[in-house]
Amino acid sequence: MKKFNYGIMLAINILAISTAVAQKDSSGIYKTAKDFQERKLSYAINYKTEKHKIKNNLLFNSKEIKVKHAGETYTLPKNETYGFRNTKGEEIRFVDNKEYKILNPGEALLIYVYEHPSHSPKETEKYSPLYYFSTDASSAPMSLTKANLKAAFPDNHKFHDALDAQFRSDKELYTYDQFHKMYKLNWIIQNTMN
């Protein structure tokens, strides 16, 4: 059964990556977690040939997102919208009206970074980026710590041991593995699931 779960996880990753590659020039809104998993964008465009605007930091209303698409303006509540992909190819998820950048949208364990939306460079220095993870697209992000990862996978003792062996501190948990072209954490999960 565990090998079957690993196979399903691998197939989902391959599907997500191949769909993401097909939409690499797209921008639009993810209405739901399922849309994100299926890489289904609403109000989608190819930003290299078309134009639209997604305004996510409205000055007087941080609870909404505005999309100008095909000459029409749509206002969506952030708490009912999963997130969006901007014209830089970045994936953003809304949680409690805050924006979390998804660092690895095609991987099984999602890693996020939250950066304080300060407008002043002096204030930005006070707030360092905070890292989170979720075990799937619909789960709430949790602080990216070894303790939280172990709690998320309580029965996977091979994973616990690998975490302790590979990472000296929580700050190393979002290390990207250039050789495997994925976050090191996901590589470890894939190799400890059986």
Q: How far apart, in whole angstroms, are the C-alpha atoms of residue 189 and residue 103?
A: 17
- CA 173/CA 163 separation, integer angstroms: 9
CA gap 58, 114 in Å, rounded: 18
Q: Would you say the C-alpha torsion 129, 173, 177, 1 has a positive or negative sign?
A: negative
pLDDT computed for residue 18 by the predictor:
40
The pLDDT value recorded for residue 4 is: 46
Residue 95's H or E segment, with its range, is strand 91-95
What pLDDT sits at residue 43?
86
Print the domain residue range for 84: 2-192
Number of domains composing the chain: 1
Beta-bridge partner residues of 73: 68
Residue-level pLDDT at 37: 93
Angle value at C-alpha 17, between 16 and 20, nearest 5 degrees? 85
Residue 133's φ and ψ, nearest 5 degrees, are -145, 160
Average confidence (pLDDT) per 10 residues, the chain, 194 residues: 50 46 70 94 76 62 79 87 90 92 93 78 71 95 97 95 95 94 94 82
In this prediction, residue 69 carries a pLDDT of 79
Alpha-carbon span 191 to 187, nearest angstrom: 6
